[in-house]
Chain A
């Protein structure tokens, strides 16, 4: 066979496989979000993807293996997204702003993912998910915090206190937005003004 034709065919095959893999991941997340881990099975997933069960088992040992692999990949993807344009040497405010931007964009572009992560949090798969996420995310964020403390920009505090002030407000806004309403059923839609006004209060609370 002509090598160019061969290469062409190979590239087509490969592309299709990647598409199929993507489809499997996407459908798996959709299905878990919709019916939980208990209602999720390899058979149902194969049907939803219009592929044979055997094809799924080529790539994954079993249901647990599939969920863990998807959770780890998503953990890695989230860590990578969160570190985009993030400079560990930046000032505290500038660094936290990038963190907010990245987290906000990630959650907005992947609406199902926050539900999926919540489900993982209360499941037996949580440890494996956090392991991948932390391994990629923690070193950079530790360095950033270390610098901010050294420069005297913020006070030393526990991780829980820090996170509750630094990020919980962002996630509360995203939750209101996703639910379309805030406290007491008041209609709510997020805007840049609301997002960055909240951010300014957060910075005010944390900075010395």
Chain B
């Protein structure tokens, strides 16, 4: 096996700090992300103070998700 295959790559996991605080926000997010092509899996941590949105995608970039949330009235920035 090539050594390169053993390297862990996390580029497909995008992480954001949001203000999606409630289950209603989560439901709205669900409808948005369902329509968005390229989202393989997603999760919103409502229990965390950063309301972390975690997206698994091999095609979309961070800006694309930030724009999607901003256009729907949510704050969203890269989680550091």
List residues of A whose CB falls within 8 A of some B CB.
Answer: 3, 6-7, 10, 17, 41-43, 52-54, 57-58, 61-64
Contacts and interface: CB of A to CB of B under 8 A. Distances in A.
Contacts of B79: 53-54, 57
A62 B43 contact: yes
Please name the 5 residue pairs, one residue from A and one from B, whose CB atoms are nearest each other, closest first: A62-B45, A61-B43, A54-B79, A57-B15, A54-B15
B77 to A, nearest CB: 12
- Main secondary structure, interface of B, reads loop
A62 B3 contact: no
Given A54-B15, A54-B79, A17 B8 contact: yes
B45 to A, nearest CB: 4
B75 interface: no
B18 to A, nearest CB: 12
Contact of B47 (A3, A41, A58): A41
Given A6-B3, A52-B80, A53-B79, A61 B54 contact: yes
B48 interface: yes
Interface string B28-67: 0000000000000001010111101010000000000000
A53 B78 CA distance: 11
Interface of B: 3, 6-8, 10, 13, 15, 43, 45, 47-50, 52, 54, 79-80
B49 A41 contact: yes
B48 A43 contact: yes
B6 A62 contact: no
- Main secondary structure, interface of A, reads helix
29 contacts: A3-B3, A6-B3, A7-B3, A10-B6, A41-B48, A42-B48, A42-B52, A43-B49, A52-B80, A53-B79, A53-B80, A54-B15, A54-B79, A57-B13, A57-B15, A57-B45, A57-B52, A57-B54, A57-B79, A58-B13, A58-B15, A61-B43, A61-B54, A62-B43, A62-B45, A62-B48, A62-B54, A63-B45, A63-B48
A43 B13 CA distance: 18
Contacts of A64: 47
B8 A53 contact: no
A53 B52 CA distance: 9
Contacts of A53: 50, 52, 79-80
Nearest to B78: A54
Contacts of B49: 41, 43
A62 B55 CA distance: 12
Contacts of A54: 15, 79-80
Given A54-B15, A57-B13, A62-B45, 9 more contacts: A10-B3, A10-B6, A42-B48, A42-B52, A58-B13, A61-B45, A62-B54, A63-B45, A64-B47
